Structure 1
């Protein structure tokens, strides 16, 4: 495939949607151009995994907890940038996880984190005080009217704090509002649960996540061991037809959840898509086995496993990104605009897209490609299909979220 093809395809698609493509003609004289900044978060391997923030391609490693166990901040999962009218400069908020023990590789022993402008803004420890492996993590971030919302998980196995369903799951889905935690109900037989992304509109909270029913079914990779979940104002919407939810967003009237839809008819693969329904339905169940209250849209090709990882809705256009698994075993990063899909990467690169942000007439997509030289992933951003590497001096890196302002 020609290296320029993804950029040309995206430009053609934008043109077809009555959006101007890349400017090709010089202007004389030119009006001043307000160049936005591109903020991206993720991880960099230095050689341990480290939470990282990139601003216009320049990486800053986010600080760990300030205590005797400061082994590192290991995850940066979501970024939001808001105007600060007092300083005139934007404030950069990042949600993630930092270790609180000397075992840098441990999945447990961690604290949920929010960083502001590259410094620790708040840390949210596990609610367990007796369990040896104490852990909490923040996966999703949303800021509404000055309130900081984060979605994630906390251990609760031996906690004296009773959740909505006080079972003995060792990991429970939660969201925090300004550090105040709300436990989210999970199936009584579930072994683990996790909140992964959230959004807020008119004071109403919408959280997506996963349930896992065995210890082996880690919620980070749900499948045969788990199922997707959607909570509205802390109440689970039962029978939501989205087994692999990855992203949630709203318009003034609709709720959208993107991810992968269960196989249809005689198919055996999960295909990228999204579901949506009226916001006014709130936490009303879809009905046993019936997705009737939700409408579903399939984006992925028949016969190929694919997934939507992020969505943004601008006017009448729905932008979705994700990946498609080809028969060769390689992943191809995908962008869909109003159900028209284009490849952002060549099949030989084995790339995935994880985040999308539309600014004016430009479409920014974050993700990673395989680094052939050392087998680590390489963080990249596509702008209108043209790819830029953010890997820099890191051995490996990956983008989880981008924001353009």
Structure 2
């Protein structure tokens, strides 16, 4: 009887251990399956290819893997990238003889927004639902001044401005509202920073000093625009919040802004800064006015585009190597990753993280 009870106890104990093992395994499997979120995917667009500029290839990189878009038979350059779902949208231009054609590419398939009769450029792209918005500029004919323009699903909308040159640099869609930032020239040749909301132009400067708007971001009811003011000797980084200007640099150094991003209450601006006419520019970004240097000043560099996701700051730009060639680069929290080898043209012009 004792041996029988001992055997029963032994079997029961093994059963309990087995069930515990199975249960632990199940819990581990559930933990693996339920565990979180994969790391974000980093998309960067730019140009790579021949030094002659004629065989330049529009390229985007997905987690540093290159995806060429055009075949290089015509020189092409990329300016902006937007990712919606599984679709990758890129805006830029393609050379056609003596003119440039504004284009965008969806998953590598090109869509021309203008013809070879009109020199044009697509500078920024934004996708909202099923609608594709592209900002840029277009000349009506070879001798005509450029006109700030946006396209919605390929339909052209010239933006009202004076009879002198105007340029659209950035587009942002918020709800049913279309925001475009850029600038126009006055009769004296001074640039006036401005933005358009649903086609209505709003000046940010008065033309007394050269000022341009480069990038726009809308957060809730607030409109943020980054740009530059040139006093003839140095350029000053500024941004406007709902039309109220904030100076980020003081004009001691030559500074420039290329991109703005707003995350919560934090305002990020990407660009660069350097000693006027004497040394290389340092790629930088500013968070609420506080600068972070991305390069050490040994080589000319610039930060061109910025994107913030959670607590991580992603910046795309270029660093010139010892041969004088730009190397497409991106930084995550200040740590650089080279996208091109520096043997040819290599630029990183836009970044999108999801």
Aligned twin of 1:355: 305
So what's the TM-score if we normalise by structure 2? 0.81
Any idea what the Cα deviations from partners look like across 1:120-170, whole Å, max 9, x if unmatched? 2x21123xxxxx853232111111122100001222148xxxxxxxxx833
Structure with the largest fraction of helix: 2
Q: Is the 8 A contact 2:192 2:204 kept in 1?
A: no
Aligned twin of 2:78: 76
Is 1:237 aligned to 2:186, yes or no? no
Aligned twin of 2:94: 98
Is 1:124 aligned to 2:92, yes or no? no
Structure 1 394/113 Cα, relative in aligned 2: closer, same or farther at 3 Å? farther
Moved over 3 A (4+): 29-33, 224-227, 238-242
Aligned twin of 1:307: 256
For structure 1, the 5+ residue unaligned runs are 1-28, 65-69, 84-89, 127-131, 159-167, 218-223, 278-293
Aligned twin of 2:18: none
Is 1:367 aligned to 2:308, yes or no? no
Matched residue SS, 1:348 = coil
Structure 1 314/332 Cα, relative in aligned 2: closer, same or farther at 3 Å? same
Q: Is the 8 A contact 1:300 1:324 kept in 2?
A: no
Aligned twin of 2:285: 335
Any idea what the Cα deviations from partners look like across 1:183-229, whole Å, max 9, x if unmatched? 112212x1x32211111112111112232469xx9xxxxxx653333
Any idea what the Cα deviations from partners look like across 1:66-99, whole Å, max 9, x if unmatched? xxxx83251111101111xxxxxx2111111122
Q: What CA distance in whole angstroms lies between the structure 2 residues aligned with 1:376 and 1:329?
A: 17
Aligned twin of 2:41: 37
Aligned twin of 1:401: 350
Structure 1 213/74 Cα, relative in aligned 2: closer, same or farther at 3 Å? farther
Aligned twin of 2:215: 247
So what's the TM-score if we normalise by structure 1? 0.72
Deviation of 1:261 (Å): 3.3
**Aligned to 1:173, which of 131, 148, 153?**
148
Deviation of 1:371 (Å): 1.2
Structure with the greater relative contact order (CA < 8 A, sep ≥ 6): 1 or 2?
1
For structure 2, the 5+ residue unaligned runs are 1-30
Deviation of 1:176 (Å): 0.4
Deviation of 1:32 (Å): 5.1
Q: Is the 8 A contact 1:81 1:403 kept in 2?
A: yes
Q: What CA distance in whole angstroms lies between the structure 1 residues aligned with 2:152 and 2:329?
A: 31
Q: What CA distance in whole angstroms lies between the structure 2 residues aligned with 1:333 and 1:301?
A: 17
**Aligned to 1:62, which of 61, 69, 72?**
69
Structure 1 262/226 Cα, relative in aligned 2: closer, same or farther at 3 Å? closer
CA RMSD of aligned residues (A): 2.5
Q: What CA distance in whole angstroms lies between the structure 2 residues aligned with 1:182 and 1:32?
A: 43
Give matches, 1:188-227, under 5 Å. 188=163, 190=164, 192-212=165-185, 226-227=191-192
Q: What CA distance in whole angstroms lies between the structure 1 residues aligned with 2:43 and 2:176?
A: 26
Rg larger in 1 or in 2? 2
Give matches, 1:118-157, under 5 Å. 118-120=108-110, 122-126=111-115, 133-157=117-141
Q: What CA distance in whole angstroms lies between the structure 1 residues aligned with 2:177 and 2:75?
A: 30
Structure 1 308/170 Cα, relative in aligned 2: closer, same or farther at 3 Å? closer
Q: What CA distance in whole angstroms lies between the structure 2 residues aligned with 1:394 and 1:330?
A: 20
Q: Is the 8 A contact 1:157 1:171 kept in 2?
A: no
Structure with the largest fraction of strand: 2
Deviation of 1:172 (Å): 1.5
Q: Is the 8 A contact 1:350 1:369 kept in 2?
A: yes
Is 1:112 aligned to 2:97, yes or no? no
Deviation of 1:297 (Å): 1.4
Q: What CA distance in whole angstroms lies between the structure 1 residues aligned with 2:245 and 2:118?
A: 39
